[in-house]
Amino acid sequence: MSPLLSAITFRRPFTILGILLALLVIAAFVLVALNAGAASNSPSLSVIVTTKDLQPRIPIDADALTIKSIPVPGTYPKVYFTRREDVQGMIPLVPIVAGQAVTSNEVVKPSQALGGQSEYLPIPTGYVALTIPTSEQQGVADYIQKDDYMAVIATVSTAGKVASKTIFTNLHVIRVGMQGNGSGGTATASSLTVVVTECQAEVITWFLTYASLKYALESFHDYLQPGAQTPDPGCPTVAAAKGVTLQVMQAAYPSLF
């Protein structure tokens, strides 16, 4: 065999390998181009995304939401929201980071949140929630509803004397009946949950034990504005409550004794 033929025969495998590598590179470029074209043709959807981090159990406010257009693969479940009003007021079940699209499996309506996932009660700083008994005649014939404000009247009968006095006003009602009942339904509710200081909670508990209470529904014209319930200087924290005795109640409400 001539030296020229031997050289051609020797180089043939490298030539074939080079051709194969070139074909692989071309195929890779074609695949990338096809994928890029498919991605650019993916449908987009204007959905609700968050403008700040959201935490579980805290209702979502309108300022935390905006609308953004994102690509949506055709095979992805339709779990997005497209209107702010559909998300506002809902309760996150998990932390949702800023810029993330809100999906239906991450939030629930307040009435659907159960157990540890229920929303936080709207209790201002320095206050507590207290549940008190009610009935048709005690609670204004079931007209007291969530977000109403009411007054509390105590009646004491002692040593042959009966006296009544309004002991508290502007108590914010945050729930009527048990959790999940909303406004109590059509039946008369048996309880009201109100916002009070811990000191007021002790006084109400004493009157419920040794006297009787009745409630008066205040005019909606006199309701406090949201956020107007600032800490009470006389009882700014739960730790400020020192307990009550008969002597304390007699000194605080002398006209009742």
**pLDDT at residue 7, as a whole number:** 46
Q: What is the pLDDT of residues 190-207, one digit of tens each?
A: 999 999 999 999 999 999
pTM over 0.85? The answer is: no
- Whether 86 shows a pLDDT value over 80: the answer reads yes
Domain span(s) for CATH 3.90.1210.10 in the chain? 44-117
Query: For residue 35, what pLDDT is reported?
Result: 61
pLDDT, mean of residues 139-161: 93
Q: How far apart are alpha carbons 210 and 188 in whole angstroms?
A: 25
Whether 245 shows a pLDDT value over 50: the answer reads yes
Q: SS3 string of 135-152?
A: CCCCCHHHCCCCCCEEEE
Judge whether 169 and 217 are in contact, CB under 8 Å: no
Residue 187 has pLDDT above 80, yes or no: no
CATH fold of 44-117: Type Iii Antifreeze Protein Isoform Hplc 12 (3.90.1210)
What is the distance between the alpha carbons of residues 187 and 34, in angstroms, rounded to a whole number? Answer: 64
Q: Calculate mean pLDDT across residues 88-106.
A: 90
Residue with more model confidence, 144 or 10: 144
